[in-house]
Amino acid sequence: MKHKKDALALEKAKNKVDKSIETRSEAISSISSLTGILLFVTSFLGITFLIAVCCIIYIKQIDETEDELENYSILRKLGFTQKDMARGLKFKIMFNFGLPLVIALSHAYFTSLAYMKLMGTTNQIPVFIVMGLYICMYAVFAVTAYNHSKRTIRHSI
């Protein structure tokens, strides 16, 4: 400041400004920290829910296979081959895991679109990465259920 008069005017203006006003960098910093916390909490809950749903579907599938062992024995006596029964089992497991997966992916996609619109972002790459991880997780549980059910049926007849 070249002049004392300007310094006094600046000091008066500074005293009039509300102390609770944040600077742009402070606002960005607080928003970033809140976004990080929100991301962590939602990721944790999402992963927990995903694993729980996959386990429930897996246990349901294994329970149904155990309950239907007599039906598979009857099918074998009627002339169905192991390959025919495995194909039917594969379609059943694909339906049991596929329908919840399609619903979950649709929900996640449209929810993320609403969130991105709310936040003013357009980057959908993270959404598709998470959807890919969902598909992989469901696929692991579905393949495990298929192999276990197929082995159970093979040993029972």
Per-domain residue ranges of the chain: 51-156
Q: What is the pLDDT of residues 110-131, one digit of tens each?
A: 999 998 888 888 888 988 998 9
pTM (two decimals): 0.75
Residues 94-106: pLDDT tens digits? 999 999 999 999 9
Cα distances from 38 to residues 11, 44, 118, 146, in angstroms, run 40, 10, 15, 36
On whether the CB atoms of residues 146 and 93 are closer than 8 A, the answer is yes
Average confidence score pLDDT of the chain? 88
Which percentage of the chain shows pLDDT scores above 90? 61
> How far apart are alpha carbons 69 and 88 in whole angstroms?
14
Tell me what the mean pLDDT of segment 29-42 comes to: 83
